[in-house]
């Protein structure tokens, strides 16, 4: 089971490396990694398990955060409006890639954080408001999905990790809350 002790923090050079493409067919170790990453996110969002194992709730995780420089990410995005516990998006994505995106940008009203960053970094993080992403799933099947708003932001945060990019790289250093005209704020 993955816990916070497995997650490396900023300063560790792995977070700045472009991660390696995964080759197919998938080996058992890579499949297990993907499953464990998704399980971590689910556990972290379960109040009892989060308390028991001292997990910080997360909606996404990228393998480099586990000091594994491979192009694999997991996302588990809960539906805040819905009590049925059906997530909006729950997936392991292998070799994910943004193949097209909107001109319009968007950012989260509260800015962003990261499980690999133990401090608050204030400022807007502008990202594409809509993206088309291709990836391979754990069965090795090619997938192509269109995302907008929050799920699009989460997946871009994770794809950044496999490219060695941190969320604060996108914050305007001189004016952290200054935005261009084409950026909408998601709240
Ligand atoms: C985990 C990050 C990924 C998100 C940050 C902004 C977009 C993607 C993460 C730090 C603390 C909060 C936490 C979070 C959350 C939100 C809604 C519901 C449940 C992956 N990461 N967080 N960042 N939690 N939990 O660093 O999830 O947003 O690379
Ligand atoms: Ni992160």
Chain mean pLDDT for the chain: 97
Q: What is the pLDDT averaged over residues 10-35?
A: 97
pLDDT for 154 = 98
pLDDT for 85 = 83
Domain membership of residue 175 as a residue range: 4-186
pLDDT for 80 = 84
pTM reported for the whole predicted model: 0.98
Query: Total structural domains in the chain?
Result: 1
Residue 141 is a catalytic residue: no
Question: What is the CB < 6 Å shell around ligand 1?
Answer: 45, 56-62, 65, 78, 112-116, 153-154, 157-158, 161
Q: What is the pLDDT averaged over residues 119-125?
A: 98
pLDDT for 116 = 98
pLDDT for 37 = 99
pLDDT for 75 = 98
Percent of the chain with pLDDT over 70: 100
Distance 97 CA to ligand 2 centre (A): 17
Quick one: tokens of 174? Answer: 């001189």
Which ligand is closest in space to the CA of residue 58?
Answer: 1
Hey, CA dihedral for 176, 179, 183, 184, is it positive or negative?
A: positive
Dump pLDDT digits (tens) for 128-151: 999 999 999 999 999 999 999 999
CATH number, position 16:
3.90.45.10
Distance 25 CA to ligand 1 centre (A): 30
Please give the backbone phi and psi of residue 184, each rounded to the nearest 5 degrees, phi first: -100, 155
- Which of 50, 58, 64, 88 maximizes ligand 1 atoms within 8 Å of its Cβ, making it the mutation to test the pocket? 58
Smallest CA separation from ligand 1 atom 14, residue: 58
CA atoms lying within 13 Å on the CB side of residue 172: 11
pLDDT for 40 = 98
């Amino acid at each position: 089971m993955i816990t916070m002790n497995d997650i490396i923090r900023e300063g560790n050079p792995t977070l700045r490396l472009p991660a390696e493409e995964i080759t197919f067919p998938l080996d058992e170790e890579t499949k297990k990694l993907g499953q464990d990453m998704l399980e971590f996110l689910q556990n972290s969002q379960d109040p009892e398990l989060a308390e028991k194992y001292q997990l910080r709730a997360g909606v996404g995780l990228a393998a480099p955060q586990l000091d594994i420089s491979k192009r694999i990410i997991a996302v588990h995005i809960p539906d805040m409006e819905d009590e049925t516990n059906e997530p909006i998006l729950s997936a392991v994505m292998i070799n994910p890639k943004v193949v097209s995106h909107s001109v319009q940008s968007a950012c989260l009203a509260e800015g962003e954080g990261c499980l690999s960053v133990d401090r608050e970094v204030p400022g807007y993080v502008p990202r594409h408001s809509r993206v088309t992403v291709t990836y391979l799933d754990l069965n090795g099947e090619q997938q192509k999905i269109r995302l907008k708003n929050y799920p699009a932001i989460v997946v871009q945060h994770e794809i950044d990790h496999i490219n060695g990019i941190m969320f604060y790289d996108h914050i305007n250093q001189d004016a952290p809350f200054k935005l261009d005209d084409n950026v909408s704020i998601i709240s």
